[in-house]
Amino acid sequence: MTTRIPTRITRSLLAGAAALTLGLGSMPAQAEEFINILTGGTSGVYYPLGVALSKIYADNMQDVRTQVQSTKASVENLNLLQQGKGELALALGDSVKLAWEGDADVGFKTKLDKLRGIAAVYPNYIQIVAAKEAGIESLADLKGKSLSVGAPKSGTELNARAIFGAAGMSYDDLGKTEYLPFSESVELIKNRQLDSTLQSAGLGVASLKDLSTSLAINMVAVPAAVAETLGAPYIAATIPAGTYEGQEQDVETVAVVNFLVTHSEVPEETAYQMTKLLFENLETLVAAHKAASAIKLEDALKGMPVPLHPGAERFYKEKGLM
């Protein structure tokens, strides 16, 4: 015999079950935060530093998943940040400045107003290297020769344009201009299909180490007068003797500081932790690439071209830097 449950009780049970289901559905799950770190080519300095930061953050930040993205570097990185397609990026100081100003000629269609600063890190050295057999020993000797100036509208290529302009030259003076990433440029030189390459990177960049151990090279000096003409964020610098195989003397050049940049929609606590863990783990970064040995807490705010993220600002106030 089937026992009928009174309609009033049935309705009560159903209402209770529905309420329980809704209640469970509305219970907040612990959200996993995602940090995508925008870098550069795998043979440059940005990429190994990005990999090291990714591990530091994954190991020390709760409920965070990290990823490293290889890109065309500065200009692409900054545009991706503005679009919310990355949470942290490495970029050259002149690129960051032009992005904040919205310079369309170099790849920024509008002012990238969401950019926020984390820290000044290490300087990029403009390193012009030629096969010794090409007979290139000065900027003037590049006339009529072939040169790779980096990927189109990359930070490296912007540096190349600026340096040529300050030296009273242009790409028209070259026999051939190639727009290639670091590793591809080196392969062409090794195959005698290219005379020289201009690479804006930290000292000891893997691509140029590879080139210098494969064939005899000349490091081409960039005179201090070029840095004086360009002004900030460019500074006169020196590539120390012995940085690359066969480089027996110091070489004059110019340098420009790199910055770690985020965007305004990254939570304050996340930006705080990214900044704090950066400076608490400098040894790990130096192990990833020696260029990181130039990262100093006391220099972190020097020349910052964009407003600081509030999370980074909180960290620097704690350290007495603001």
Q: What is the pLDDT of residues 246-292, one digit of tens each?
A: 999 999 999 999 999 999 999 999 999 999 999 999 999 999 999 99
Confidence of residue 31 (pLDDT cuts 50, 70, 90): low
Q: For the whole model, what pTM was predicted?
A: 0.80
Cβ-Cβ contacts under 8 Å for 13 (sequence gap 6 or more): none
Residue 15 domain-assigned (yes or no): no
Count of CB atoms situated within 10 Å of the CB of 282: 14
Examine residue 233 and say whether the peptide bond preceding it is cis (omega within 30 degrees of 0).
yes
Q: What is the pLDDT of residues 174-203, one digit of tens each?
A: 999 999 999 999 999 999 999 999 999 989
The pLDDT score that the predictor gives to residue 321 is: 96
Same domain, 221 and 284: no
Same domain, 245 and 288: no
Residue 12 domain-assigned (yes or no): no
**For residues 217 and 178, is the Cβ–Cβ distance under 8 A?**
no
Confidence of residue 106 (pLDDT cuts 50, 70, 90): confident
For the record, the structure tokens of 314 come out as 């909180």
Domain count, the chain: 2
What's the chain's average pLDDT?
90
What gap in Å lies between CA 158 and CA 107, rounded to an integer?
Answer: 10
Query: Of 221, 236, 256, which marks where a domain is finished?
Result: 256
Same domain, 100 and 136: no
Which CATH number goes with the domain that contains 73? 3.40.190.10
**What is the domain extent for residue 68?**
33-122+257-318
Same domain, 293 and 239: no
Distances (CA, A) of 164 to 137, 145, 193: 15, 14, 22
For the record, the structure tokens of 196 come out as 């020289």
Confidence of residue 147 (pLDDT cuts 50, 70, 90): very high
The pLDDT score that the predictor gives to residue 30 is: 53
Parallel/antiparallel/unpaired status of strands 88-92 and 33-38: parallel
Closest Cα partner for 294 from 261, 255, 321, 253?
255
Q: Is 264 exposed, middle or buried (0-12, 13-18, 19+ CB in 10 A)?
A: middle
Does residue 88 register a pLDDT over 80? yes
Residue 143 domain-assigned (yes or no): yes
Query: Of 231, 256, 281, which marks where a domain is finished?
Result: 256
Same domain, 218 and 311: no
